[in-house]
């Protein structure tokens, strides 16, 4: 059988040296993941146990409007809690009681740990178990850490889904395997992938997280796990512990990446490659046509990635292979070689890779290289813009639907627009 994904590992970065840095970092905390998680899980509520700073961060990131009642809040730890003068567990019970009385639509409640709650050693797992015993089956109560002390912001989703994975029902043993797509996708992207999978002939597939907690997908030895996001290491391990088998694949960014992702799914389910190719051909052709003007604008331009979201390697592969950009350095907070093996093999040979961050040293390398475009966090973007560099906010690449064929041109546009803006300002 011919390989599903024609990757030539001898010419990529599979064995390339990686610069590992362990200095000061510039990243958001995992509480930010609540913004896209609460939009996806429509009957879930996220209660952050933290400080007023945590509340301001989440509200600012969400851009909450006064007409909308969001499905997240913060149980504020004040001076009495931090000084140990109040029983934080009793206080938390009262907050949860009031919340559930006010919001009877909640079916899944996450207690989200933060830096302040972890510093004072507040045991949220104990609280979740106690509250779950009290309110289940009407409301399931779980907990996870959104602290940014040792993590990057996308790991908030990983921690959330890893906490939910043990709650998935056990799958019966069907005659054929079932596909489970893992990672939060915008509803429009999920619908597009559903149509493509149906056209391919896939009869049994589900998405995790699901839109409603009362319809969680089942998992078991016949589950074939396909990651839609590269930052779900703990979630993948939790599902594999339930018997699921991961499908090796690049991630669905761009026309080429989306095609290879779907082809890998088809191969794992026993579909003929030509059947899959025919089913996805119209969508792939539209994506390639839509990418053409962006390639004309980006080909030959040099891009530098600061570590922020763990999307850096798939994005770099997309920019290099489909848009012709030159990769100066590709930094990522954590490099999961197993999950990113296909991406590494597709990167141009000789690409400079870095893991972790020593921000001052990396800034020096960036300034010396003077790339055409810098992909970085908000904390670095404004200073670099002041120095005359063109930047792209990496957090926007997580908030925006970018997966799949129909979003390929939108993804490319996130990189062409900063360069176009710079040209307009220069004029």
Binding positions are: 29, 54, 115
Nearest to 209 by CA among 254, 159, 248, 172: 159
The burial of 147, by beta-carbon neighbours within 10 Å (0-12 exposed, 13-18 middle, 19 or more buried), is given as: buried
**Structure token pair of residue 188:** 């429009």
Would you give the end-to-end CA distance of the chain in angstroms? 55
Radius of gyration of the chain (CA): 22
d(CA 307, CA 310): 7
**Structure token pair of residue 422:** 């710079």
**Residue position matching structure tokens 């589950």:** 223
CA dihedral 44, 47, 53, 55 (to 10 degrees): 50
Nearest to 309 by CA among 209, 228, 230, 417: 230
Return binding residues for [4Fe-4S] cluster: 29, 54, 115
**Residue position matching structure tokens 């106690």:** 130
């Amino acid at each position: 059988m011919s390989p599903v994904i024609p990757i030539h590992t001898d010419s990529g970065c599979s064995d390339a040296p990686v610069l590992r840095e362990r200095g000061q970092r510039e990243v958001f905390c995992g509480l930010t993941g609540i913004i896209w998680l609460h939009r996806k899980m429509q009957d879930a509520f996220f209660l952050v146990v933290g400080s007023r700073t945590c509340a301001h961060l989440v509200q600012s990131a969400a851009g909450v409007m006064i007409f909308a009642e969001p499905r997240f809040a913060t149980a504020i730890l004040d001076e009495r809690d931090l000084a140990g003068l109040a029983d934080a567990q009793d206080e938390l019970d009262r907050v949860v009681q009031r919340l559930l009385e006010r919001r009877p639509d909640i079916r899944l409640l996450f207690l989200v740990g933060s830096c302040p709650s972890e510093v004072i050693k507040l045991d949220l797992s104990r609280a979740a178990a106690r509250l779950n015993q009290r309110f289940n089956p009407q409301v399931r109560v779980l907990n996870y850490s959104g602290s940014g002390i040792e993590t990057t912001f996308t790991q908030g989703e990983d921690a959330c889904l890893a906490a939910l994975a043990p709650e998935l029902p056990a799958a019966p043993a069907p005659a054929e395997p079932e596909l489970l797509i893992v990672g939060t996708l915008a509803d429009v992207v999920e619908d597009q992938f559903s149509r493509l999978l149906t056209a391919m002939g896939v009869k049994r597939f589900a998405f995790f997280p699901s839109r409603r907690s009362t319809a969680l997908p089942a998992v078991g030895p016949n589950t074939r796990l396909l990651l839609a996001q590269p930052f779900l290491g703990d979630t993948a391990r939790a599902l594999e512990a339930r018997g699921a088998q991961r499908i090796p694949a690049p991630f669905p960014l761009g026309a080429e990446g989306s095609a290879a992702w779907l082809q890998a799914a088809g191969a794992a389910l026993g579909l003929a490659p030509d059947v899959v190719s025919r089913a996805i051909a119209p969508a792939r052709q539209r994506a390639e046509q839509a990418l053409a003007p962006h390639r004309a604008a980006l080909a030959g331009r040099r891009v530098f990635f600061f570590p922020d979201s763990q999307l850096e390697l798939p994005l770099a592969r997309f920019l290099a292979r489909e848009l012709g950009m030159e990769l100066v350095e590709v930094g990522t907070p954590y490099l999961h070689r197993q999950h990113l093996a296909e991406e590494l093999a597709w990167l141009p040979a000789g690409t400079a890779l870095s893991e972790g961050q020593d921000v001052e040293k990396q800034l020096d390398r960036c300034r010396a290289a003077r790339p055409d475009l810098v992909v970085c966090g908000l904390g670095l973007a404004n200073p670099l813009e002041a120095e005359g560099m063109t930047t792209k906010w990496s957090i926007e690449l997580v908030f925006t639907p970018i997966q799949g064929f129909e979003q390929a041109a939108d993804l490319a546009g996130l990189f062409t627009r900063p360069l176009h803006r710079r040209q307009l300002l220069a004029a």
